[in-house]
């Protein structure tokens, strides 16, 4: 996980544009941030190599793919030691129903986001894949009724802060 990667205002403009449209062409990205396309490509590559840009994704509707029921499964493991943590994470990430795994501080050790076809599938997942594991000491399941995305990590630039676009003076008539 990168820490203290030096980012200048141009890098931040690139990241703001990409977070809102990861499919933008390099040419359009370069125009949006006022760079030559080759310079823009070099900067994006540097941001990717530094670990600031971690990937480009497509978000799919779980319901449209036959998994309309989503839940968070809170899990505690005993003892909470590195080898067991690594084994549990590897096991959870290998399950096709698992969308994300979070390692936590607090009363629960993990929060596992899952998407399943129905209640029976959720019960099977909890009983056969989580509580059946010897290191799992507690499981608590919360159904997800609805989900909203948060705001962009980098807020959009206010119109006052945008670099000026080239002025075009009207031609006299």
* Order of strands, sheet of 110-116, starting from the edge strand that comes earlier in the sequence: 98-103, 110-116, 69-77, 136-144
d(CA 140, CA 20): 35
Please answer whether residues 110 and 72 qualify as being in contact, where contact means their C-beta atoms are separated by less than 8 angstroms.
no
The domain over range 63-144 is classified in CATH as 3.40.50.720: no
Domain extents for the chain?
Answer: 9-49, 63-144
Is the pTM here over 0.75, yes or no? yes
Cα–Cα separations (whole angstroms), residue 77 to 3, 93, 95, 138, 171: 29, 16, 18, 7, 73
Q: pLDDT tens per residue, the chain (173 residues)? A: 566 789 999 999 999 999 989 999 999 999 999 999 999 999 999 999 999 999 988 889 999 999 999 999 999 999 999 999 999 999 999 999 999 999 999 999 999 999 999 999 999 999 999 999 999 999 999 999 999 988 889 877 655 544 544 444 444 44
Query: Quick one: CATH architecture of 9-49?
Result: Orthogonal Bundle (1.10)
91, two tokens: 């096991």
């Amino acid at each position: 996980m990168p820490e203290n990667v030096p980012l200048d205002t141009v890098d931040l403009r690139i990241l703001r544009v990409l977070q809102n449209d990861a499919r933008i062409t390099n040419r359009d990205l370069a125009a949006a941030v006022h760079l030559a396309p080759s310079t823009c490509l070099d900067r994006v590559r540097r941001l990717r190599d530094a670990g600031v840009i971690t990937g480009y994704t497509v978000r799919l509707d779980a319901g449209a793919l036959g998994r309309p029921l989503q839940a968070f499964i809170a899990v505690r493991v005993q003892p909470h030691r590195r080898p067991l943590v690594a084994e549990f994470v590897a096991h959870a990430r290998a399950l096709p129903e698992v969308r994300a795994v979070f390692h936590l501080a607090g009363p629960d050790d993990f929060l596992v986001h899952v998407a399943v076809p129905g209640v029976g599938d959720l019960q099977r997942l909890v009983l056969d894949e989580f509580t059946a594991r010897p290191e799992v000491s507690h499981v608590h399941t919360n159904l997800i009724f609805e989900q909203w995305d948060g705001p962009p990590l980098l807020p959009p630039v206010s119109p006052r802060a945008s670099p000026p676009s080239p002025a075009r003076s009207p031609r006299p008539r």
